[in-house]
Amino acid sequence: MVLTTLAGCDFIPVEDQIDQSVFCIVDTANATENKKKCKIGNKITFAPNVWGNEQQPVLFAVGNCDFRYSVALTTGAVACVFNPVSKTFGSDNSQ
């Protein structure tokens, strides 16, 4: 009975499994566009073709990264586990 109970501790829901075998590289922070290239749970790297806006990696992370896992962030790139947002509110939106 103890073995059965302990075996249940290793259960990870399918939606929480990370696919470590896939590495997805994107050059846009747009989560809608990235959904076309990557699947939820894939490792994703944001490596933009044009660099210069230091806010861009943070905006990518907010819209594309699963914050339950580590996020590697520099001024020019981001690496994380992909879990895109479903809705975005801009600064001109009162919601």
How do 42-46 and 19-26 pair as beta strands?
A: parallel
| Residue carrying structure tokens 């905006």 | 59
What pLDDT does 16 receive? 62
Q: Is 21 helix (H, G, I), strand (E, B) or coil?
A: strand
The pLDDT of residue 76: 87
Task: List pLDDT tens digits, range 31-76.
Answer: 999 999 999 999 999 999 887 788 999 999 999 999 999 999 998 8
Residue pair 46/26 in contact (Cβ under 8 Å)? The answer is yes
What residue ranges do the domains of the chain occupy? Answer: 14-78
- How far is the C-alpha of 11 from the C-alpha of 4, rounded, in Å? 12
The lowest-confidence range among 35-39, 76-80, 90-94 is 90-94
Strand partners, 65: 82
Q: Is it the case that residue 14 has pLDDT exceeding 50?
A: no
Q: Report the distance separating Cα 70 and Cα 92, nearest Å.
A: 30
The pLDDT mean for the chain works out to: 82
